[in-house]
Structure 1
Amino acid sequence: MSRILALTAHRFPDDSRVNKALIEALNTQPKVTVHELMRTYPDYRIDVAREQELLQSHDAVVMLFPFYWYSSPAILSEWQDAVLTYGFAYGSEGTKLHGKPLQLVVTTGGNPQAYTPEGYNRYPVADLLRPFNAMANLTGMDYLSPHLVQGVFDMSDERLAQEAAGVVKLLQKL
C-alpha cells in the first residue's frame, strides 16, 4: 500500500456517525495519514505550506466527505482554493501532483435510487462530482471512480461496519 493522505471534511465531525466510523477505520491503517480539516482549521485559515508538504510526502490522496448541496463541505473547497495553487498544482511549473491517484469517498443521506434520472435528485452522484474530475485533470492527478457510501441516514451498525471495511480494502489497493 502506498502512503495515503486522507483529507476528511465534515462541518460537524463529532456529529457524524458514519463519517466518524470511516475515519476510525482509516486510522487503523499504518500507511494512511488521516487529516481532519475541520479539526485542524476550524477558523478556515489553511496553512498552505504545511498542506503542500503533506501532499508531496504522500503517494495518493483520498478525499472523504459527506455530499452537501451536491458538492463537498466548505472546508474542502477552501482547502482546494488555498492549497492547489498555480505553480504548485497546475501551470507549466505546477507538476507536484502529477500521477498521484485521487480517490473520493463520498457519503450520501439518500440511497442510490435517489441519485437516478427518476429519483429525487435527478442526477447520478458521479455526474455531480465532475468538478473533482476536472480538478484532477487540471492538476495531473489520476481521478479514480468515486466510492459511494449511500443511504447513511438509516444505515444499520452491521452495514456500517461492512462499509468501513470496504473503504479500508479500497485504500489498500492504492
Structure 2
Amino acid sequence: MSKTLVILAHPNLEVSRVNRCWQQELLQHPQEITLHELYKEYPDWQIDVAREQQLLEQYDHIILQFPLYWYSYPPLLKKWVDEVFAYGWAYGSTGDRLKGKYFSVAMSIGNHEVNYLPGGSVQFTVEQVLAPFKASLHHVGAIELPHFAFFGASFQATDEQVEQSAVDYVEYIRNGSAVVEQG
C-alpha cells in the first residue's frame, strides 16, 4: 500500500469537532498516512515553497483536508496552492511535478447534505463548489479522485456520527491508495 499525504488546513482546529477527530484518527496510522498541518507549520503564513514542493514530490496520493469555508478552501490553503503550484514546477513548459499524481479533498461541511442537492438551499452541488479545485488539478496534469465529505459538522452531527466519519475517512484513504497502486 502506498503512503498518503494529507494536507490538513483548518484555521481553528482546537474548536473543530470533525477535523480534530479526523486528525486524531489519522495519527493512529503513521505507516499509511503522513499528516501535514498547514496552520501549525505556518502560523506566520510564510510558506516554505521549496520544502512544500519537495514534500509533494514524495507522494503519489495527496488529500487536501479542510472545512468548507465560504464554499471554498480556508485562506491559508488557498495561499499554499497559489504559491506551491508554481509556474515551472507544477505547470508551464517545464512544470510537470504534479503530473499523474492523485489528488482528492476531504471536507467537513456545516450544512445538511440535502441543501447541496439540485434544488437545495445552497443552489450548488458539492461537485460544482469543487470546480476551481478540479480545474487546478486539470491544469497541472494531476488526477482527481472522488472527494470525501461529512455534512452537518456545524451543529447537527452526533459524536457517534463524527467518530464513525473518522473511521470511514481512513477507509476512504485506503481505497484511494489502492487506486493509486493500480494506477
Equivalent residue in structure 1 for 2:164, among 162, 165, 169: 162
Partner of 1:62: 63
Question: Is residue 102 of structure 2 the alignment partner of residue 106 of structure 1?
Answer: no
Cα distance between partner residues in 1 of 2:117 and 2:123: 5
Partner of 1:7: 7
Cα distance between partner residues in 2 of 1:92 and 1:4: 28
Aligned residues: 174
Cα distance between partner residues in 2 of 1:62 and 1:35: 10
Q: Does the CA contact (< 8 Å) of 2:137 and 2:144 recur in 1?
A: yes
Question: Is residue 52 of structure 2 the alignment partner of residue 51 of structure 1?
Answer: yes
Partner of 1:88: 89
Cα distance between partner residues in 2 of 1:31 and 1:108: 25
Cα distance between partner residues in 2 of 1:75 and 1:146: 20
Cα distance between partner residues in 2 of 1:21 and 1:151: 14
Cα distance between partner residues in 2 of 1:154 and 1:36: 26
Q: Which runs of 5+ in 2 are unaligned?
A: 178-183
Cα distance between partner residues in 1 of 2:90 and 2:4: 18
Give the TM-score taking structure 2 as reference length. 0.92
Q: 4+ residue stretches of structure 1 with deviation over 4 A?
A: none
Note the C-alpha offset of 1:26. Answer: 1.2
> Which residue type is aligned with residue 18 of structure 2?
V
Partner of 2:181: none
RMSD over aligned Cα, in angstroms?
A: 1.0
Give the TM-score taking structure 1 as reference length. 0.96
Note the C-alpha offset of 1:116. Answer: 2.3
Q: Which has the higher mean CA deviation after the structures are superposed, 66-75 or 144-153?
A: 144-153
Question: Is residue 181 of structure 2 the alignment partner of residue 172 of structure 1?
Answer: no
User: Secondary structure of 1:154's match?
Assistant: coil
Cα distance between partner residues in 2 of 1:59 and 1:112: 30
> Which residue type is aligned with residue 48 of structure 2?
D
Query: Percentage identity across aligned positions?
Result: 38
Partner of 1:119: 120
Cα distance between partner residues in 1 of 2:54 and 2:119: 44
Partner of 1:38: 39
Cα distance between partner residues in 2 of 1:9 and 1:114: 24
Cα distance between partner residues in 1 of 2:130 and 2:93: 26
Cα distance between partner residues in 2 of 1:105 and 1:111: 16
